[in-house]
Amino acid sequence: MNEPVLPPIGMLAELTHRCPLQCAYCSNPVELLKANREMDTAGWLSLFEQAADLGVLQVHLSGGEPTLRSDLVDLVACLARRGVYTNLITAGVGIAEGRIEALAAAGLDHIQLSFQGAFAATTEKIGNSLGAHQKKLETARRVRAAGLPLTINAPIHRHNMEEVPDFIDLALGLGAERLEIANVQYAGWALLNREALMPEREAVERQVQIVEEAQERLRGIMTIDFVTPDYFAIYPKPCMGGWARDAFMVAPDGTVLPCHAAATIKSLHFERFGDWSLSRIWHESAAFNAFRGTSWMQEPCRSCERQEIDWGGCRCQAMAIAGDAAATDPACVLSPLHARMGALINEAIRTKAADTTSGAFTYRRIGKVAEPTV
C-alpha cells in the first residue's frame, strides 16, 4: 500500500560543483555546473526558509566544496535561526583562516571531513592534489579546537580498501566522534571510473570483518557507520530512505531532486526552485511521485515482504544496469538481473592493471565528458 505524503525531514544542499580536488569516485554528475549557473544567496536563503516551513529538521551542506561559497556563513546563520541542524560536508582543503570559527559562531552544528586515503600518498593520488592530506589533518584540528563535533568520511574502493584499519586509527587520533566507512556507490564520476574502482570480493569480505570487530571494540568510544557496497549485496538499501519519502536534494542551480543521481533518469523532468515553490515540488511534482510509495513496483517487488523496508532500492542503479528505472534494483538477489552485478565485478577485476596506473582514472573536472556506459 502507499503511505500518505509526509513532510520531509532531511535535505542535501549541493551548493556548488566547484572543488579543489578531482576525485575519481565523486558522485556528482559528469557534466558539472560552472559557478555562473549556481543559485545566488537570495535564492538559497529563500529555499532554506521554505524548507524549514515545510518541516525539514536537518540540512547537509555539500558540493563540490561548499566552503568555496563566499556566503556560507550567511546560509548557516539562516538555518540556525530557524532551528535547523546543519552538517557541513567538506574536503577540508583551502579553508581560509578563521572560517571554521566563523561558521561555528553562526550556528554550524557539525562537520564531516572526507579523507581519500589514510596516508598522504593515497589521498593525493585519488584526489589528484598534492599536499591535500596535510591540509585535511590541519582542518580536523581546527574543527576540534572550535568545539565542533567531527565525523571522518572515508569513501572506500579498490585503491584504499586495505587502509580501512588505518582509517579507524586516523579517526581515533583526530578525536572524531564518528567514522563513516562508505563504500563507493557507482553514480556520476564513480560510474565513469567503475572498472578502476571496483574491489575484489575477498577484499570486501575482509573489510566487513575488520569493521564489525572495530564497531564492537570501540562501542561507546567512536561510532563507526558502514555503507555496504551495492554490487556485493544480497538486498538493496533504501536509497535516501525511499524515493521522495522523507528527504530530497537540491543541485547548485536550484533543481530539486529525490536523490543526487536522479537526473540520470532522462524520462523524468525535475523542477527548479523559484519556478515552483518547495512545497509544490515535494507534494505535486510528477518526478517526485513517480516512485513514491509502492504502487509503481513491478514483480518481484510488488509482492515482496521487504517492499516497505528497502522501498525497491535505488531507482538510478536500476536505470544504469537494467535500463528501466522501475525495475527491481539489480543489487537485490531476487532481481532477474542480479547476476549482472557479479559479471560487472568480474569484468572490473579482469582490468586490474588500473591498480598501479593513476592515469586509469578519469579525474573529476569541470567540462563535458562522455557519459559512462554499462
Please provide residue 256's backbone torsions phi and psi, each rounded to the nearest 5 degrees: -100, 130
Q: Are residues 121 and 141 in contact, defined by beta-carbon separation less than 8 angstroms?
A: no
> Does 23 appear as a known binding residue?
yes
The three grid cell numbers given for residue 177, joined into one nine-digit string = 566522534
Q: Is 5 left (phi over 0), alpha (psi -120 to 50) or beta?
A: beta
**Residue listed under C-alpha cell 525511499:** 242
Q: Whole-angstrom Cα distance, residue 248 to residue 263?
A: 13
Rounded-to-5 percentages of helix, strand, coil across the chain: 40, 15, 45
Nearest to 281 by CA among 33, 62, 7: 7
> Does 314 appear as a known binding residue?
no
Please provide residue 356's backbone torsions phi and psi, each rounded to the nearest 5 degrees: -110, 10
> Does 26 appear as a known binding residue?
yes
DSSP-based three-state secondary structure for 249: strand
CA-to-CA dists, residue 81 to 43, 248, 357, angstroms: 17, 21, 49
Q: Whole-angstrom Cα distance, residue 341 to residue 346?
A: 9
Annotated binding-site members for [4Fe-4S] cluster: 19, 23, 26
Annotated binding-site members: 19, 23, 26
